[in-house]
Structure 1
Amino acid sequence: MRRRLINSTLAVVLVVIGVFGISLVLVETRTITSTAEQSVEAEAVQLVSFLDSKLVEQQEVTPQIVEEQSRIERYAVIELSGQKPFAVGKKPSGRVIRAEVSGEHGQSVTVEEPYSAVYEEVGRTLLIIGAVALLAVVAAVVLAVRQADRLASPLTDLAETAERLGSGDPRPRHRRYGVPELDRVADVLDSSAERIARMLTAERRLAADASHQLRTPLTALSMRLEEISATDDPETVKEEASIALTQVERLTDVVERLLTNARDPREGSALAFDLDEVVKQQIEEWRPAYRSAGRAVVRSGRPGMRAVGTPGAVAQVLAALIENSLMHGGGTVAIRTRVVGNQAVIEVTDEGPGVPADLGARIFERTISGRNSTGIGLAVARDLAEADGGRLELLQQHPPVFALFLSRVARKQEDEPPTVR
Structure 2
Amino acid sequence: MRRRLIQSTLAVVLVVIAVFGVSLVIVETRTISNSAQERVESEAVRLASIVDSRLFGAQQVDAEVLRDQITQDRYYAVIRIPGEAPIEVGAKPSGDVISASAPGEEGETVTVQEPRSSVTREVGRTLLIIALVALLAVVAAVLLAVRQANRLASPLTDLAETAERLGSGDPRPRHKRYGVPELDRVADVLDGSAERIARMLTAERRLAADASHQLRTPLTALSMRLEEITLTDDPDTVKEEATIALTQVERLTDVVERLLTNARDPRTGSAVTFDLDEVIQQQLAEWRPAYRSAGRAIVSSGKRHLEAVGTPGAVAQVLAALIENSLMHGGGTVALRTRVTGNQAVIEVTDEGPGVPADLGARIFERAISGRNSTGIGLAVARDLAEADGGRLEMLQTKPPVFGLFLSRTPVRKPLGGEDEPMIR
Does the pair score TM above 0.5?
A: yes
Deviation (angstroms), 1:78: 1.9
Spell out the pairing of 1:3-18 with structure 2 (5 A cutoff): 3-18=3-18
Question: In the TM superposition, what whole-angstrom CA distance separates every residue of 1:240-293 from its partner, at most 9, and x where no partner exists?
Answer: 122111111111111111121122221111100000111111111111111111
Corresponding residue for residue 114 of structure 1 = 115
- The residue that corresponds to 2:304 in the other structure is 303
2:421 aligned residue: none
Aligned to 1:347: 348
The letter of the residue matching 1:278 is V
What is the DSSP-based 3-state SS (H/G/I as helix, E as strand, rest coil) of the residue aligned with 2:367? coil
> Equivalents in 2 of 1:93, 1:229: separation in Å?
130
Aligned to 1:319: 320
CA distance in 1, matches of 2:260, 2:56: 125
* 1:82-161 equivalent positions in 2, closer than 5 A: 82-161=83-162
Question: Which ranges of structure 2 fall in alignment gaps of 5 or more residues?
Answer: 412-423
Check the 8 A contact 1:171/1:193 in 2, yes or no: yes
Instruction: Tell me the equivalent position of 1:357.
Output: 358
Structure 1 counterpart of 2:36: 36
Q: What letter corresponds to residue 258 of structure 2 in structure 1? A: R
Question: Distance between the aligned counterparts of 1:197 and 1:107, measured in 2?
Answer: 103
Which moves more between the two structures, 185-194 or 329-338? 185-194
Question: More displaced, 346-355 or 125-134?
Answer: 125-134
Shift of 1:72: 4.6
Q: State the AA in 1 paired with 2:105.
A: E
What code does the residue aligned with 1:179 have?
V
CA shift, 1:409, in A, is 4.6
Matched, 1:46 2:37: no
Paired residue secondary structure (1:214): helix
In 2, the alpha carbon distance for the partners of 1:333 and 1:312 equals: 21
Contact 1:385 1:404 in 2 (8 A): yes
Distance in 1, Cα, partners of 2:137 & 2:304: 94
CA distance in 2, matches of 1:41, 1:371: 113
Give the 3-state SS of the residue equivalent to 2:79 in structure 1.
strand
Structure 1 distance, partners of 2:365, 2:95, is 105
Separation in 1 of the partners of 2:129 and 2:40? 25
The offset of 1:14, in angstroms, is 1.7
Q: Conserved in 2, the CA contact under 8 Å of 1:345 and 1:406?
A: yes
Residue 167 of structure 1: how far off its partner (Å): 0.3
Contact 1:253 1:312 in 2 (8 A): yes
State how far apart, in whole Å, the 2-side matches of 1:399 and 1:88 are: 131
Question: How far apart are residue 65 of structure 1 and its match?
Answer: 2.3
Measure the CA separation in 2 of the matches of 1:400 and 1:122.
Answer: 104
Please give the alpha-carbon distance, in whole angstroms, between the structure 1 residues aligned to 2:213 and 2:179. Answer: 48
Provide the rounded CA distance (Å) in 1 between the counterparts of 2:235 and 2:152.
Answer: 80
Q: Distance in 2 between matches of 1:350 and 1:314?
A: 19
1:174 & 1:59 partners in 2: Cα distance? 95
Residue 66 of structure 1 aligns to which amino acid in structure 2?
L
8 Å CA contact 1:308, 1:408 repeated in 2: yes
User: Which blocks of at least 5 consecutive residues in structure 1 are unaligned?
Assistant: 417-421
Q: Is the 8 A contact 1:354 1:398 kept in 2?
A: yes
SS in 2 for 1:171: coil
SS in 2 for 1:170: coil
User: 1:199 maps to which residue?
Assistant: 200
Which is worse superposed, 356-365 or 158-167? 356-365
2: CA distance, partners of 1:258 / 1:219: 19
Q: Is the 8 A contact 1:228 1:237 kept in 2?
A: yes
Structure 2 CA distance for partners of 1:333 and 1:122, relative to 1, 3 Å? same
CA distance in 2, matches of 1:196, 1:157: 19
Distance 1:55 1:381 in 2: 128
Answer yes or no: is 1:58 the counterpart of 2:58: yes
C-alpha contact (below 8 Å) 1:47/1:72 kept by paired residues: no
In 2, distance between residues paired with 1:66 and 1:235?
150
Aligned to 1:382: 383
Change (3 A) 1:151 1:72: closer
Q: Distance in 2 between matches of 1:263 and 1:104?
A: 112
Letter in 2 for 1:27: V
Q: How many correspondences in the alignment?
A: 411
What's the CA shift for 1:84?
A: 2.0
1:291 matched to which residue of 2?
292
SS of 2:349's partner is: strand
Q: TM-score normalised to the size of structure 2?
A: 0.93
Residue 27, structure 1, aligned to residue 14, structure 2 = no
* Structure 2 counterpart of 1:170: 171
For 2:239, the equivalent position in structure 1 comes to 238
Could you tell me how far apart the structure 2 residues matched to 1:168 and 1:203 are? 13
Counterpart-to-counterpart distance in 1, 2:147 and 2:344: 68
Aligned to 1:419: none
Q: Tell me what 1:227 maps to.
A: 228
- Check the 8 A contact 1:228/1:240 in 2, yes or no: yes
How far apart in 1 are the matches of 2:95 and 2:110? 20
Residue 277 (structure 1) aligns with:
278
Q: CA RMSD in A?
A: 1.7
1:373 offset after TM fit, Å? 0.5
| 8 A contact 1:348–1:402 mirrored in 2 | yes
Alpha carbons 1:43, 1:72 under 8 Å: kept:
no
SS of match in other structure, 2:409: strand
CA distance in 2, matches of 1:156, 1:72: 68
Per the alignment, residue 189 of structure 1 pairs with 190
| C-alpha separation in 2, matches of 1:367 and 1:308 | 30
- Say if 1:76 and 1:110, in contact at 8 Å, map to a contact too: yes
* Paired residue type of 1:38: E
